[in-house]
Structure 1
Amino acid sequence: MRKAHAVAVLVLAGLVLSGCGSGEDKPQKSRDAQSGEDKGSPSKGPTDASAEGTMIDRAAGSWKTISKRQGDRYFQTVTIADGHVTMKGAVLDCSGTLKPDTVEGKEAPSLTLTCKGGSDGGRGEGNMHLGDKVTTDDAVAFDWEGPEGGWGGPVDSFRRTS
């Protein structure tokens, strides 16, 4: 009986010394005694530098269409630098400058296109929507108002290439 008791004590001592953890490999959070705030465990957010700044800042780079549609009325590439946008397609060649704006309380910079040859493919004015910071801003869409009196314009969607 003494042997069983000694084994039980050793097992209990091992559990106590090991911390009786939950078996998960997550770092334990500590709380600041005065403020009650968590500290010591960094949040797991995007590590990409593009996750900093305004949506206009985060959208900087080159983008390629996700649409399989080709033709005179479609854009194939978008380049955004310092808020200046250049959109190009087989025929369309347009540019504009993003301006801070909101749609339904969310950041959605506005854009008015000026196109060579005068045609903007039925777009006119619109708003840019960017994948959120959690998705590392890898998708951008332009939601166009379309011609006056119409039901709205096209939506152009792109994936980041650089």
Structure 2
Amino acid sequence: MRNARWTVVATLAVVVMVGGCGSESADEETADAKASTTTGAAEKPVKATAPQGTLLERAAGTWKSIATPRDTSLDTLVIEDGKVTAEGAKLSCTGTLVPVENDGEESATVTYTCLRGDDGGRGLGHLKVKPDGSALVIGFDGPAGGWGGPVDSYRRA
């Protein structure tokens, strides 16, 4: 009796597996999926080309920090006409970007002036923007005589 049950179960398993392989409905579903993928790809908007212009022109806009907000973080950065406004939970700072060139690379520096005088240990900052304009980083020197300051990383808002 036990052998008969196993035989029935094994037979059903084989029938189910063979029935699913090579059926026309599976081929039709695959063809439909490929067609919808191809059609969907054609309908997607074309990604904008990389921003052109100077570093300050590529940096212009609103940026959101990629880091977890803290008391000393600057979570939103707005750059307009070379002027910088940075806001965080407990910090509010402004500054002006000064274009510089380091080893043939375009860069800019910024020193924040913050409410209550605390810049979160930043000091002089060095701005870089990815060539495609999707990310911005400001690496800070930190307080004089220190080991360096924070690195603020942003994505376009």
TM-score by length of 1: 0.65
For the pair 1:73 / 2:69, whether they are aligned, the reply is no
For the pair 1:111 / 2:113, whether they are aligned, the reply is no
Quick check: which has more Rg, 1 or 2? 2
Partner of 1:60: 60
Structure 2: where are the runs of 5+ without partners?
A: 1-46
Give the 3-state SS of the residue equivalent to 2:99 in structure 1: coil
Give RMSD over aligned pairs. Answer: 1.4
For the pair 1:137 / 2:133, whether they are aligned, the reply is yes
Residues 68-121 of structure 1 deviation map (CA, whole Å, 9 limit, x = unaligned) = 2x2211111000000100011001100101011123331110101100110000
Matched residues, number: 111
Distance in 2 of aligned mates of 1:105 and 1:120: 29
Offset of residue 47 of structure 1: 4.9
Partner of 2:41: none
Distance in 1 of aligned mates of 2:140 and 2:91: 15
Distance in 2 of aligned mates of 1:71 and 1:151: 20
Moved over 3 A (4+): none
Report matched runs for 1:27-106 at 5 Å: 47-48=48-49, 51-68=51-68, 70-106=69-105
TM-score by length of 2: 0.67
Report matched runs for 1:18-33 at 5 Å: none
Offset of residue 126 of structure 1: 1.0
Distance in 1 of aligned mates of 2:55 and 2:86: 18
Identity %: 45
